[in-house]
Amino acid sequence: MNSKRVGNQTVVFANPPVILSSYSVVGPKEGQGPLGKTFGKVWEDGLNGEKSWEVAESKMLQEAMQGAMDQASVQKEQIDFMMAGDLLNQIISSNFAARQMALPFIGLYGACSTMALSMAVGSMLIDGGFAQNVLVGVSSHHDTAERQYRLPTEQGAQRAMSAQWTVTGAGSVLLSSSGAGPRITSATIGKVIDFAVKDVNNMGAAMAPAVADTILNHCQDMQLKPADYDLIASGDLGAIGLGLACELLKQSGMDTGTSFTDCGVMIYDDSQDSHAGASGCGCSAVVFAGNIMQRIKSGELKKAMLVGSGALHSPTSCLQGESIPGIGHAVVIEG
């Protein structure tokens, strides 16, 4: 009954689900960044003709999911489950996208870890025999996130140098029980780890311990080391969090070498004034759906690990004096 479980937190797939296709839609800032050419579509502005940023984010998510279906020439009728999540209260971007998609819908919340979480759970549903095709979609939007979590963007408040810039972007992957493409071979579901960081302008620091914990547990469960992976990409710790995660892994005796990077470090360059890097569900979603998938398909990466990292606070919990709990979920993709 329990044969696919390895160690404490990891599952290994008997028939590894295939990533049939991936697609990403991003805003202009992301399009101007170093990964600009890897995205499926770049919007000219964050509204794209919609009446609110919230409506625009939900439409962006739909576009990404439709893009993934189109790439694989898979019709809606062939999808067994849609799995989605985002950062907004009550995950409305996903809910309203699901209304348009009219598919059996499983909503998830893992903050910025949602892409990896959805891919992990979706793979279990496929390998478990419950679905042939699962459509995963995740989004975030700079302006919807700013006004919900921080300050109205119209106010033009100065951002802390440790803050990360929420990506405007939606990424989607279509997972399938058969077909050609990279395969998801294992997944590690993370535990909530809290090192008592309370600074909402330094979420990389809050999430770093959870990412380190998940990488350690994954390697322990699988009896592997970081060098066995061509790439380990967290998403999204930013520059400060990535440094801290490396440091924590080093303290635990693990050398991550040069393979460990972060989607929040990759997506913008220094000229883009994004301070500590990028964050938001959409960040790891579009970096994975674009850059990482292309590198796996080209053969540059034979084995990659995406470690989605989520800060599981809310504005209310922070106002009530709580620290920021973090979580990391890992999925391993082989070309």
Closest CA to 232 of 170, 166, 188, 298: 188
Contact flags string 275-314 toward a copy of itself, x per CB under 8 A: -------------------------------------xxx
| Residues paired with residue 11 on neighbouring β-strands, in sequence order | 5, 187
Q: How far apart are CA 282 and CA 275, in angstroms?
A: 18
**By CB under 8 A, residue 157 contacts a copy of itself:** no
**Smaller CB distance to a copy of itself: residue 67 or 110?**
110
**First-last CA distance in the chain:** 28
Applying CB under 8 A, the span of 165-173, 188-196, 197-205, 233-241 interacting with a copy of itself comes to 188-196
**Residue 317 in the binding site for a copy of itself (CB under 8 A):** yes
Please state the closest distance from residue 5 (CB atom) to a copy of itself, in A: 6
Residue 332 touching a copy of itself (CB under 8 A): no
Chain residues 17-56 in contact with a copy of itself, contact rule CB under 8 A? 51-52, 54-55
Tell which one of 30, 127, 146, 236 touches a copy of itself (CB under 8 A): 127
- CB-based contact 84:45 (threshold 8 Å): no
Q: Quick one: which segment of 23-31, 64-72, 186-194, 272-280 binds a copy of itself (CB under 8 A)?
A: 186-194
107 binds a copy of itself (CB under 8 A): yes
109 part of the interface to a copy of itself, by CB under 8 A: yes
* Contacts with 320 (C-beta within 8 Å, 6 or more apart), sequence order: none
Least distance between a copy of itself and beta carbon 9 (Å):
5
70 preceded by a cis bond (ω within 30 of 0): no
Per CB under 8 A, does 235 bind a copy of itself?
no
Q: Which is closer to a copy of itself, CB of 1 or CB of 299? A: 1
Name 311's bridge partners.
Answer: 326
98 binds a copy of itself (CB under 8 A): yes
Q: Contacts by 37-40 with C-beta closer than 8 Å and gap 24+?
A: 38/290, 38/291, 38/294, 39/169, 39/286, 39/290, 40/64, 40/67, 40/289, 40/290
- What the block records as the tokens of 269 is 């360059």
3-state secondary structure of 330: strand
Q: Which is nearer to a copy of itself, 113 or 202 (CB)?
A: 113
* Greatest extent of the chain over all pairs of C-alpha atoms, in Å: 56
Rounded-to-integer distance, Cα 246 and Cα 234, Å: 11
By CB under 8 A, is residue 216 in contact with a copy of itself? no
How far apart (Å, rounded) are the C-alpha atoms in residues 164 and 51? 26
CA distance 168 to 173: 17
Of 61-69, 79-87, 229-237, 244-252, the window that binds a copy of itself (rule: CB under 8 A) is: 79-87
For a copy of itself, the binding residue among 151, 192, 250, 257 (CB under 8 A) is 192
Site residues (vs a copy of itself, CB under 8 A) = 1-5, 8-9, 11, 14-15, 51-52, 54-55, 80-81, 85, 87-92, 95-96, 98-99, 101-111, 117, 121, 124-132, 148, 177-178, 189-194, 312-317, 320, 322, 325, 327
